[in-house]
Amino acid sequence: MKPKKLLIASIPLIIFALLVLVFNSSLKKDPRELETKLIGQAVPDFKLASVTDLERVLTNEDLPKEVFLLNIWATWCVSCYAEHPYLIKFAKEYPIKWIGVNYKDESKNALAYLAKGGNPYLYSIADVQGTLGIDLGVYGAPETFIVDANGIIRERHVGVIDDRVWHNKILPIVEKLQSEQGAN
Amino acid sequence: MIKQFYVLSCFCLLALVSVSLQAEKVQADEFKFESPAQEQMYRQIISQLRCPKCQNQSIADSDAELSEDLRFIVYQKIRRGESKQQIFSYFQQRYGDFILYDPPVSPKNYILWFMPIVVFIIIIIALVMKVGKRRVSDETEISEEQS
């Protein structure tokens, strides 16, 4: 009878320990981070102007045929200002191409932003209406998509890319994809 | 004292009227539909889609710019004659199951769907065992207590 009573008495303690584990793991997760169904799918079709050259029409054909990063930015996005110097640095230090998507912005503001902060992008797509942004499931700029040589989205990061995110998340995935593609 | 109270109540009334006028204005800004059925479908759909930016509001309730864009897409799709299912799957493909207030049953949310049933069954089993045991050991338990 004794051990059974002990077992029953310890049930609340066990439940408590389990809850601590569950809460602890969910505390580390960012509830704002949403899943995306786009991983494993091609970059959605688009046909939009370039920010720096409004005459130029950009389509999926213009995307690099190598692993690259698709970064969603806007001049109304406060965190983008914090991210921008990092992008300049990474673009300089690593031979990985950055494509910008200027999301729901005015081209005048966008040009001033690039002139002032520097331009880390090969080119920026002017998504004035936000159609490409919605096709990409963008809900909070800055967002960055890692795209492979076949134009397939392999990963998404929501939020600022700083040194920590770059070295812990972005760079390992890019390098893995590059070596995969190099092997083929 | 009475005068102050009077001023205060007038102010409250004024505030209330201006707020309700504001609400009226927002209503009028909405889109034009071909039929009341379409409008009803529109209202139903936007209240069942969650705003990805402001997570505890539907896109009907949210003032976020993204919600505005999404509402406009819903409107366009309804005008184009797309079905409710088509519209939901359009958003689901872009923003995931999260955007639906009524997400589909899938392995990653089994725990959410089936936990209540499992807990209920466990309670029933526990009850049956407990009650069943009590009937058998009724007398012994009494004698135990007495001793």
- Give the mean pLDDT of chain A: 88
Residue environment code for B20-36, b if the CB has 16+ CB neighbours within 10 A, otherwise e: eeeeeeeeeeeeebeee
Candidates 3.40.30.10, 3.30.460.80, 3.40.190.10, 3.10.180.10; CATH matching A47-183: 3.40.30.10
Which pLDDT score, from 0 to 100, does residue B16 have?
A: 63
* Angstrom distance (rounded) from CA A58 to CA A50: 6
Residue of B68, B71, B72, B95 best to disrupt the A interface, most CBs of A under 10 A = B95
The closest CB to that of B94, out of A104, A135, A140, belongs to A135
- Element containing residue A182 per DSSP (H, E): helix A171-183
Residues A105, A111, A114, CA angle at the centre, nearest 5°? 105
A153 or B4, greater pLDDT: A153
Q: What is the pLDDT along chain B (147 residues), one digit of tens a residue?
A: 667 766 677 666 666 656 555 554 444 456 788 888 888 888 889 898 988 888 788 888 888 888 888 898 899 888 888 888 899 989 888 888 888 888 778 887 788 888 999 999 999 999 988 887 766 555 555 555 554
Query: A165-174: long-range contacts (C-beta < 8 A, 24 or more apart)?
Result: A166/A86, A166/A90, A170/A69, A170/A144, A170/A146, A171/A94, A173/A146, A174/A67, A174/A69, A174/A96, A174/A146
A134 or B21, greater pLDDT: A134
Q: How many residues does chain B have?
A: 147
- Does B96 contact A35 at a Cβ distance shorter than 8 Å? yes
* Angstrom distance (rounded) from CA B74 to CA B67: 10
Task: Give the bridge partners for A144, in sequence order.
Answer: A71, A157
* Angstrom distance (rounded) from CA A113 to CA A51: 11
A86-98 pLDDT tens trace: 999 999 999 999 9
